[in-house]
A and B are shown apart, each in its own frame.
Chain A
Amino acid sequence: MNEGKNPVTPVGIGEYRIAHNPTILRAMGLGSCVGVFLFDEKIKVSGLAHILLPDSPNDPKKRSSKYADVALREMIREMEEKGCKRENLKAKIVGGAQMFDFMDNEMLKIGERNIRSVRSILDDENIPTIAEDVGENYGRTMEAYTSDGRVHVRCGTKREKWI
């Protein structure tokens, strides 16, 4: 779904992207991964992080944006450098599904752990979550419109919605 002729910026697993022009930030096939979209309505700067894992290990060599804490904190800092005000930032979060019926524990809970970690970081950073589509047992593709902050969520080929 691409209304109008907005360019699309894909955001791969473990990456985040920041945009300050009208564009669509897209995270394809979020399973247990979580897509966190932050936007500042006033100056129209947005960011999308495609998070794979909840918390980074203590080892500084393993710091990477595939972890929720590293990705979100770095993305927020870069957005502030681009002029975003913390009090204007709002979040929408998508994904964190449980893709398999049964599996070893660590894998079963990963979506849930990702969501919990994202919520607690956003809480710490005083950023309100104004919409979400999370959990359940199916994959999602999210497209975030940086012009107005709307997010389109598609599940498989059948269901879709705007949040």
Chain B
Amino acid sequence: MLDWKKLDEFYIDAFRELGNIGAGHAGSSLSELTGKDIKIAVPQVKILDIGDVGEEVGEDVIVAGNVTLVKDDVGEINGYLYTFFPEEGALRIIDILMGMDMGTTEEIDEMGRSAISEVSNILASSFCDACADFLDIVLLPDPPSFCNDMSSALVDPILASVAEDEEVVVAFVTRFESEEFGFDCYLVFFPKSGGLEKLLGLLEEMYR
């Protein structure tokens, strides 16, 4: 098993570059979708112990977003991609997509769920696009599952499914910014069955 504590600055840099490409893709898709100039900051990259994801976000924080299973076309890399927003940001996404004034939405209804899901989808597919650009791998996402609850509660079933063979996750933390708003956004990749090691191998090949 990979000793994650030995992951050095090189990998963090490589992941940041990957995240940066993804953020660029996502920013332009979102600007196109909303007609607003949305910028996504260069993501912070964190390699976290698998049990600490809830803590990183704040265990009690209510979040909304998507979880989707992604796999590559040769069956080497797969895992769960979890894209979400702390609830305040999720409510602003609904405002933006529904063309309402900032601060209008107070609750996530059926329509709101689709709006958040849509933006989460864009983030997930931007991550997959970045992997294609940067690492030349094809990651295909399964249909996503919407979620809206305490961050640590949502991580539970993913942990249960990967905890037997992986110990770390890669988290990209970034911010959506425009003239009218700014809020945090998380994209966390939970690799399954040796997927992280293969991903690191690819980063090394491409970059070192």
Q: A13-B159, A32-B160 are in contact. Are A140 and B153 (CB under 8 A)?
A: yes
Additional pairs, 6, CB under 8 Å, beyond known A13-B54, A29-B155, A32-B157: A13-B152, A29-B60, A99-B149, A103-B69, A103-B145, A114-B160
CB <8 Å contact, A28 and B54: yes
Q: How many residues of B contact A (CB 8 A)?
A: 26
CB <8 Å contact, B154 and A99: yes
CB <8 Å contact, B149 and A33: no
Question: Closest CB-CB distance, B123 to chain A, in whole Å?
Answer: 18
Please tell me which one of the listed residues B54, B146, B151, B157 contacts residue A110 in the complex, with CB atoms under 8 A apart. Answer: B157
CB <8 Å contact, A107 and B157: yes
Chain A residues, CB < 8 A from B152: 13, 28-29, 31, 139
Asked if B109 is at the interface of the complex by the 8 Å CB criterion, the answer is no
Chain A residues, CB < 8 A from B160: 32-33, 52-53, 107, 110, 114
CB <8 Å contact, A141 and B156: no
- Some 29 contacts from A to B, beta carbons below 8 A apart, are A13-B51, A28-B54, A28-B59, A29-B151, A31-B149, A31-B152, A31-B155, A32-B160, A52-B160, A53-B164, A62-B164, A66-B163, A99-B157, A100-B67, A100-B147, A100-B157, A102-B143, A102-B145, A103-B145, A107-B158, A107-B160, A110-B160, A111-B156, A139-B149, A139-B150, A139-B152, A139-B153, A139-B154, A156-B149
